[in-house]
A = this chain, B = another copy of it.
């Protein structure tokens, strides 16, 4: 972010210049300030943090109502905990930040890159008998990985802020399977609240979370046909239980290992939504997480200052009981104010001018469509609630249409490239063989099959070897 751009406070990038737009808009909308002098770590400004906290409130409610309880495990993980699962440690060792302290500057441990090695040694202490199961805990924490790839705010960072991870342990495989299905349902609700359609895919075994036996991963997409991993539900089977020695005595006093799963997502949900819903004017906040649902802009004319101010304040007092509302009474022109609130993506703007007051009305302006409605004063509260719902639905519908248009069934490797140039995501039949998978990756630097469709309902020929298969693989590049 150059200082020129900062000083101008103007959004100069068009939405189609996606990466530049994203970087400008996060800064100008007061989501983050990435001028903090540690690479891959940014400051959350209050407006952005409020959106994130609204999102956290959604998952707190959703998961707690499902009986999953919030807890907290320390930031620093002893090396001996990390080493208990060598697959996990292999996956995260080089990215792990080490911590040194004391007069001898001794290594105290690793800053948590993921929750498992801090949590599971304690699970092993807590679980003795079947009556101690299930354990269904989550924590919302920041995690740390020394990313060597290009970092991108909210999406690929060294400080993964506000990460929501759930770790459960069960007595039987069936219980774990039931839990897996429940989590899929809960995540569906989260996606819905973000007005985001999502690709749910199965990862090939060799691409799973280190040490997991299977996974469903979530991908959101961009208008450029790129995809980003956006959460996952990982089936850990008994693999971690064996490493961390988490077992219980069954009815016959025999030791049994528990069945586990872990699942999580965080600020990427926000990043994904910002990328999809925005436009040339800036962000469009999905109403369910918008920090400000509507902003009141008084239209001041000379001689009418008092009445407009008075009416605006009255409306503000009335509406703020029901919604998060802002009254913008700063000494700026309405045009300047519109510009700022549009960048910030506030779903609805409420204009009040002298003429509106004469007609006992206000003007509601939708951020997503720009459409104006004139609404009687007595009906503002209800109309605003209705409008917020409509905006939420419209955002989801538009994004769903975009995704549906992007998915392109493809029968040759060459087409995959063409598709990507046309901002499309390829769907190909694939024989489940690792060799053919690798061939697809060779089509072009960065292209990969990021997962297979959960349904297997149509036969076709593997795009590489021609073998008949029911498995369909999604192919694109990572954003």
A-to-B contact residues, CB < 8 Å: 33, 35-38, 41-46, 49-50, 53, 69-78, 80-81, 94, 96-103, 105, 108-109, 111, 118, 121-122, 125-126, 137, 142, 144, 146, 159, 161
Question: Which residues of B are found within 8 Å of A96, using beta-carbon distances?
Answer: 101
| Cβ-defined contact, A36 with B137, below 8 A | no
Report 7 cross-chain contacts, Cβ distance below 8 Å, ordered by A residue.
A37-B81, A42-B74, A50-B69, A75-B142, A76-B159, A96-B101, A97-B99
| Cβ-defined contact, A36 with B74, below 8 A | yes
Minimal beta-carbon separation of A382 from chain B (angstroms): 25
A101–B41 CA distance with the chains assembled, in angstroms = 14
| Cβ-defined contact, A46 with B161, below 8 A | no
Given A76-B41, A109-B38: A71 and B99 interface contact (C-beta under 8 Å): no
| Cβ-defined contact, A71 with B43, below 8 A | yes
Which 5 A-B residue pairings sit nearest by Cβ, starting from the closest?
A46-B69, A41-B74, A44-B72, A101-B146, A97-B101
A116–B318 CA distance with the chains assembled, in angstroms = 39
Given A38-B74, A53-B70, A81-B37: A108 and B100 interface contact (C-beta under 8 Å): no
| Cβ-defined contact, B122 with A72, below 8 A | no
Q: A36-B74, A49-B71 are in contact. List 19 more A-B contacts (CB 8 A).
A: A33-B122, A33-B125, A33-B126, A35-B125, A38-B78, A38-B108, A38-B109, A43-B72, A43-B73, A43-B122, A44-B71, A46-B71, A49-B72, A50-B70, A75-B159, A76-B97, A97-B100, A98-B101, A101-B146
Question: Which residues of B are found within 8 Å of A33, using beta-carbon distances?
Answer: 122, 125-126
Nearest B residue to A135 by beta-carbon distance? Answer: B46
Give the contacting residue for A99; candidates B45, B46, B74, B99; CB below 8 A: B99
Minimal beta-carbon separation of A178 from chain B (angstroms): 21
| Cβ-defined contact, A73 with B36, below 8 A | yes
Question: Which residues of B are found within 8 Å of A73, using beta-carbon distances?
Answer: 36, 43-44
Minimal beta-carbon separation of A408 from chain B (angstroms): 40
Nearest B residue to A119 by beta-carbon distance? Answer: B43
Nearest B residue to A6 by beta-carbon distance? Answer: B125
Given A49-B70, A69-B46, A98-B99: A76 and B146 interface contact (C-beta under 8 Å): no
Question: Which residues of B are found within 8 Å of A159, using beta-carbon distances?
Answer: 74-76
Task: Give the interface centre of A100, A101, A111, A126 by most chain B CB atoms within 10 Å.
Answer: A101
Question: Which residues of B are found within 8 Å of A38, using beta-carbon distances?
Answer: 74, 76-78, 108-109
